[in-house]
Structure 1
Amino acid sequence: MSTAGNPDEDAVVHAAGCVLWRRSPVDATLEVCLVHRPKYDDWSHPKGKLKRGEDALAGALREVEEETGHRAVPGAPLPTVEYEANGRPKEVRYWAAEAVAGTFTPNDEVDRLLWLSPPAARDRLTQPRDRYLLDALLHVLHPA
């Protein structure tokens, strides 16, 4: 129970997302999707809070479609990321997912989208934890 009187205040925020990838339509090289969120002025992988009772994978695919306009085919699970956001613990489950169809339309949550090579995506990502997820994707797609 929180001392502030709100029993949910210290509860973990559950979210889910994907490290979205595709083969370039130009030369078939690997490209990773990054989204820009104007509220935070950051570049990240598409993700969002789960709805009450929503399955994490279903929520991840819903968030990808809402934020990027792309439908995706889920692949391997990637590491779960835990951090504090707005003073509350947050847990984000991720999957590798291949974009199969769709078109991006800017919206209030995401105003820009980029498809980048993995090295360019690494340089553009704002949070180090998102670079770790990029590494996990590369390991899944190209195991040693």
Structure 2
Amino acid sequence: MSDDRAPVLAAGCVLWRPAVSGHGIEIALVHRPKYDDWSHPKGKRKRGETAEACALREVLEETGQRCELGARLPTVRYTVDGRPKEVVYWTARALSGTFTPSREVDALLWLPPTPARARLTMPRDRQLLDTAVATSRH
């Protein structure tokens, strides 16, 4: 029997890569048709899975990218359908991979930080991006 008041545990990343232009970085944003939103790749932890393993798995599943975790970012806490949710985040550098659209994520965009910030749907994701850009060494 699960405790409905226990937080849903999840993990994700602010995924980045060197810009194709050679100047600066680009941030990966995923579009989830179920919510019609743009966000950072993230998802629920599986039983016994570490937050780090979950973040790596979710990035791979949602973006097709293998990545290397960087700086730990603040944990984001909010409520979904009356239940608390805690998402642990890291910055992560994309290493390789190819995006394939799915029912869960139908689009992937790589944008410089300022346009990425404008495209993100939730204010908490914009704050996370600001923190990631301020704390990362690219």
> Does TM, normalized by the shorter one, top 0.5?
yes
Task: Output the aligned Cα RMSD.
Answer: 1.4
User: Which of 17, 20, 24 pairs up with 1:25?
Assistant: 20
How much identity, in percent, do the aligned residues show?
Answer: 63
Distance 2:88 2:67 in 1: 16
Instruction: Please tell me the residue identity of whatever aligns with 2:114.
Output: P
Distance 2:105 2:120 in 1: 15
Segments of structure 2 that go 5 or more residues without pairing to the other structure are none
1:79 matches 2:58: no
Distance 1:103 1:87 in 2: 36
Distance 2:110 2:92 in 1: 14
**Length, aligned pairs only:** 138
User: Which of 108, 111, 117 pairs up with 1:116?
Assistant: 111
Distance 2:8 2:106 in 1: 24
User: Which of 110, 127, 132 pairs up with 2:122?
Assistant: 127
Shift of 1:7: 4.8
2:34 is paired with a residue whose SS is coil
- Residues 14-37 of structure 1 show CA distances to partners (whole Å, capped at 9, x for unaligned) of 000000000022324210000000
8 A Cα contact 2:15 2:93, kept in partner: yes
Distance 1:104 1:29 in 2: 22
Distance 1:138 1:112 in 2: 23
User: Which of 37, 50, 55 pairs up with 1:60?
Assistant: 55
Give the aligned partner of residue 103 of structure 1.
Answer: 98
Structure having the higher Rg:
1
TM score, norm. by length of structure 1? 0.92
Segments of structure 1 that go 5 or more residues without pairing to the other structure are 1-5
Instruction: Please tell me the residue identity of whatever aligns with 1:106.
Output: P
8 A Cα contact 2:71 2:136, kept in partner: no
Give the aligned partner of residue 3 of structure 1.
Answer: none
8 A Cα contact 2:33 2:106, kept in partner: yes
